[in-house]
Amino acid sequence: CKVILLTSLVWFFVGVLVLMYYTECVGTGCCGEKKSEDHPVAESLKEVQEHVVDQREYGWNFKRWSRAPVVKDHPGRPGEMGKGVTVPDSRQAEAKEKFKINQFNLVASDMISLNRSLTDVRLSGCKDKDYPERLPTTSVVIVFHNEAWTTLLRTVWSVINRSPKALLEEIILVDDKSERDHLGSQLEEYCKTLPVPVHVFRMPQRSGLIRARLLGAKHVKGQVITFLDAHCECTEGWLEPLLARIAENRKTVACPIIDVISDDSFEYITASDMTWGGFNWKLNFRWYRVPQREMQRRGGDRTAPLRTPTMAGGLFSIDRSYFYELGSYDEGMDIWGGENLEMSFRVWQCGGILEIIPCSHVGHVFRDKSPYSFPGGVSKIVLHNAARVAEVWMDEWREFYYSMNPGARNVKVGNVTERRELRKKLGCKSFRWYLENVYPESQMPLDYYFLGEIRNAETQNCLDTMGRKSGELLGVSYCHGLGGNQVFAYTKRQQVMSDDNCLDASSQNGPVKLVRCHGMGGNQEWTYDKSDRSIRHKNTGHCLQKPDHTDSSKPLLRPCDGSEGQQWVMESKFKW
Ligand code: LR7
Ligand code: MN
């Protein structure tokens, strides 16, 4: 009896304790799964995007790793230590022929061993950085179409040789329906001999790099997906900083610094750590100088992660589950182009962080031209992809793209409903938010009064950049109404801009030039008076005037006189 009484008493107290614990927990979220209300959505970039997530919530499996051994240097061999090679005279003709096929010097590449040594290009501050003892594993996904043997396999070997073994889950090669013999069974047989698992998957038809990457990603077993182009070389210590950054915050998309492998000599040339990714009105990806404010945010530390508005697209690491959570890629995009900006905007607007990690360097063979066929035509494909980016992510700033690429209005964008729904579902922020918080230095003005052609009231001709570069003269020509070189924005900062360039005058009577916009007013500040239609240069007080008979293509800067030749019409889309 005593035993029974005692046990029931013990059970009673246990029960009371459990009950007390749960009552106390109600509403505080300490029992069971965390509810989303536990993480109130913070408004500013700082709060949302610097919130460090505890990766254990996602069941991460971290591995203990040790440094990859340094790749041995073979001083006698061509191209060692990342040096360039010279093709002997006897092979110049062959080299020329093969250049046309690949748009790089294949003979030079073939002279260099698949596991050549490279110099350690990192800043000294990177070499003694400590990374966590345990890091997530990665699968490296490399897609290719008609890639040459040595460039592809040198990419693979550089990954094998320079990644800590424990962190490299596998390499996944995706063949986007190549038509070269060496990429068939020969490649598969070769991969079987490699010291890490290298899987080859094949697209049933030519689909382009976006869909090929999606196929590769589907097979990834690692915690993190790392994408590389098929003509890269990873340098010492490239992987650890990428993974470490993602381990800190799984919503970070981490890019290495992309160094240059010469398309001619295959010399490895270190790129600047002072550039980041931007884009122009045409929605081309471009490198620009990192502004002072970002240097300051990093406390002047050149080894610290650099927040970049966009990425080049080919080389980056992303947590596998985050890749899908964020909507992977837009399957409506074909062959090549656009996906890099699409992902950049998506990452930022939907609560992630896009960074260049300066301690990670990977080389890439940059080419002047694309060597592939673009079924249906290059411009149609590229314009189609970019139009999808504009339609889904850029809100009213899509107009900059369309006005700069008049042809894009006639290209079918296809169905973008799903991608717009994704944007809604993820609660992504507006493009205005992106411009304000992530990319205030953008070529696309945050606030502007006007976007369109600027027509002279007397001559009926339009201002025209004539496709000229920074430092060259502004032109004027017959209004064609197609946009492109005749599209200008009049901004709230009183710039008259066309893409990267602004109207600029440094003396009283001109000339009026196109100069890279600096955003500091000065010679680039103009006031447009809607009532008398004058465009007055603020510094000199003079007005923009139609060209005279000496040169009919050169607009002038002259004392304001109210004449018709000084009247300019900006009326198509005024947004005063
Ligand atoms: O139809 C195709 N199918 C493919 O599998 C066309 C290409 N590809 C493969 C190709 O073999 C290569 O491995 O896709 C990869 C990228 O193609 P590239 O090397 O022709 O592209 P790129 O280096 O000229 O261009 C950059 O922009 C592209 C836009 O779609 C991709 O995002 C590339 O990955 C990207 N490359 C880089 O970011 C490296 C740095 C270049 C810059 C700037
Ligand atoms: Mn490439």
The full 3-state SS of 69-85, as one line of letters, equals: CCCCCCCCCCCHHHCCC
ipTM confidence: 0.99
Report helix, strand or coil for 212: helix
Q: Does residue 278 line the site of ligand 1, with CB under 6 A?
A: no
Say what the pLDDT of residue 18 is: 44
Residue with more model confidence, 1 or 47: 1
Q: How far is the CA of 234 from the centre of ligand 2 (A)?
A: 14
pLDDT at 37 over 70: no
Q: How far is the CA of 363 from the centre of ligand 2 (A)?
A: 10
Say what the pLDDT of residue 46 is: 59
CA distance 396 to 391: 9
pLDDT at 382 over 80: yes
Q: How far is the CA of 332 from the centre of ligand 1 (A)?
A: 17
> How is residue 544 annotated by DSSP?
E
Say what the pLDDT of residue 365 is: 98
> Residue 52: which pLDDT band, with cuts at 50, 70 and 90?
low
Q: Which atom of ligand 1 is nearest to the CA of 229?
A: 13
Q: What is the mean pLDDT of residues 83-103?
A: 97
Q: How far is the CA of 313 from the centre of ligand 2 (A)?
A: 9
Q: How far is the CA of 470 from the centre of ligand 1 (A)?
A: 28
Say what the pLDDT of residue 180 is: 97
Q: How far is the CA of 314 from the centre of ligand 2 (A)?
A: 7
- Ligand closest to Cα of 285 equals 1
Q: How far is the CA of 68 from the centre of ligand 2 (A)?
A: 25
Which residue from 336, 373, 378, 388 has its CB within 8 A of the most atoms of ligand 1, so it is best to mutate? 336
Q: What are phi and psi of 395, to 5 degrees?
A: 50, -135
pLDDT at 435 over 80: yes
pLDDT at 223 over 60: yes
pLDDT at 19 over 50: no
Task: For 238-302, give the secondary structure using H, E and C.
Answer: CHHHHHHHHHHCCCEEEEEEEEEECCCCCCEECCCCCEEEEECCCCCEEEEECCHHHHHHCCCCC
Q: How far is the CA of 522 from the centre of ligand 1 (A)?
A: 40
Cis peptide before 305 (omega within 30 of 0): no
Quickly tell me which residue has 């008493």 as its tokens: 9
- Ligand closest to Cα of 212 equals 1
Query: Whose CA is closest to atom 29 on ligand 1?
Result: 337
Q: What is the mean pLDDT of residues 320-324?
A: 97
- Ligand closest to Cα of 375 equals 1
Q: Which atom of ligand 1 is nearest to the CA of 340?
A: 32
Q: How far is the CA of 231 from the centre of ligand 2 (A)?
A: 6
Say what the pLDDT of residue 15 is: 54
Q: How far is the CA of 16 from the centre of ligand 1 (A)?
A: 64
pLDDT at 295 over 80: yes
Q: Does residue 141 line the site of ligand 1, with CB under 6 A?
A: no
The amino acid that residue 218 corresponds to is K
b/e code 412-436 from CB counts within 10 Å (16+ = b) = ebeebeebeebbeebebbebeebbe
pLDDT at 122 over 90: yes
Q: Does residue 455 line the site of ligand 1, with CB under 6 A?
A: no
- Structure-block tokens of residue 325: 């959570």
Query: Whose CA is closest to atom 42 on ligand 1?
Result: 312
Say what the pLDDT of residue 29 is: 29
> How is residue 430 annotated by DSSP?
P
- Structure-block tokens of residue 237: 């210590």
- Structure-block tokens of residue 1: 């009896």
Q: What is the pTM of this model?
A: 0.90
Q: Does residue 144 line the site of ligand 1, with CB under 6 A?
A: yes
Query: Whose CA is closest to atom 43 on ligand 1?
Result: 312
Query: Whose CA is closest to atom 4 on ligand 1?
Result: 209
> Residue 61: which pLDDT band, with cuts at 50, 70 and 90?
confident
- Cα 414 to Cα 181, 196, 208: the distances in Å are 35, 41, 17
- Structure-block tokens of residue 571: 């009326």
Q: Does residue 499 line the site of ligand 1, with CB under 6 A?
A: no
Q: Does residue 79 line the site of ligand 1, with CB under 6 A?
A: no
b/e code 261-291 from CB counts within 10 Å (16+ = b) = bbbebbebeebebebbbbbbbbbebebbebe
Q: Does residue 315 line the site of ligand 1, with CB under 6 A?
A: yes
Which residue from 229, 330, 339 has its CB within 8 A of the most atoms of ligand 1, so it is best to mutate? 229
- Ligand closest to Cα of 365 equals 2
Say what the pLDDT of residue 274 is: 96
- Cα 205 to Cα 145, 208, 263, 335: the distances in Å are 11, 9, 28, 11
Say what the pLDDT of residue 2 is: 73
Say what the pLDDT of residue 10 is: 67
Q: Does residue 143 line the site of ligand 1, with CB under 6 A?
A: yes
> Residue 104: which pLDDT band, with cuts at 50, 70 and 90?
very high
Question: Which of 15-29, 68-82, 361-375, 425-439 shows the lowest per-residue confidence on average (mean pLDDT)?
Answer: 15-29
Q: Does residue 364 line the site of ligand 1, with CB under 6 A?
A: yes
Say what the pLDDT of residue 572 is: 61
- Ligand closest to Cα of 102 equals 1
Q: Does residue 336 line the site of ligand 1, with CB under 6 A?
A: yes
Reported as a single tens digit per residue, the pLDDT across 507-519 is 999 899 999 999 9
Q: How far is the CA of 365 from the centre of ligand 2 (A)?
A: 6
Q: Which atom of ligand 1 is nearest to the CA of 230?
A: 13
Relative to beta strand 461-464, strand 475-478 is antiparallel
Q: Does residue 145 line the site of ligand 1, with CB under 6 A?
A: yes
Q: Does residue 313 line the site of ligand 1, with CB under 6 A?
A: yes
Mean pLDDT score across all residues of the chain: 91
Residues 6+ apart with CB under 8 A from 183: 144, 146, 147, 149, 152, 175
Q: Which atom of ligand 1 is nearest to the CA of 144?
A: 11
**Runs of H (alpha helix) within 285-377:** 292-297, 320-325, 339-349
